[in-house]
Amino acid sequence: MTRHFDEAPGLCTQPDPETQQYIFGHTMMRIKDPARSLDFYTRVLGMTLIRRFDFPGMKFTLFFLGMVSDKEAKKVPQERGKRATYVFNQRAMLELTHNWGTEDDDNCKYHNGNEEPKGFGHLGFTVPDVYAACERLEKLGIEFVKKVDAGKMQGIAFAKDPDGYWIEILQADMAEKRGKDWGLQQ
């Protein structure tokens, strides 16, 4: 018996017991201007800043954001040390790294991973209604790479954050609803 739900070459079917308590905790992206990026991720996408770490000697700041409901927010420790432990015990946090001074450097631009050479692709945000969410983003003046019904994969959109990173906007059941239209094997 395997622990995987699909098949693909290279899968380890028997995990090392040592890894059973590992957590995929966060993804880090560099940002040029924290004010612009924090506005985007908190106001536009609804994330919560859970913990900020300043490193004056090395001149950078880390911002850890997550999707936290009002109910979950009551469980977040107020004491900064305990909140740090809380952050590193969470799943799927976003770490934004700001190297001080980049906000004033006209030459500073981060590679979004979708230009050549390609690498990192995007962050994905699941929304209850992809059409309503994209209409809201459009009203907020957010730039789109792909609008929700453009191209072959209709029902999925890609927007840009202030640094040009792609943000996928999707509805959880869209692959189930439109997968055949996309040429997806079910």
**168 has catalytic annotation:** yes
Nearest 5°: phi and psi at 146? -140, 125
Nearest 5°: phi and psi at 48? -120, 130
CA distance 134 to 156: 9
Cβ–Cβ contacts within 10 Å for residue 133, how many? 20
122-127 and 144-146 beta bridge pairing: unpaired
CA distance 48 to 30: 18
The answer to whether the beta carbons of residues 68 and 49 sit under 8 Å apart is: no
CA angle 176-170-93, nearest 5°?
120
Active-site entry in 95, 103, 168, 176: 168
- Enzyme catalytic residues: 168
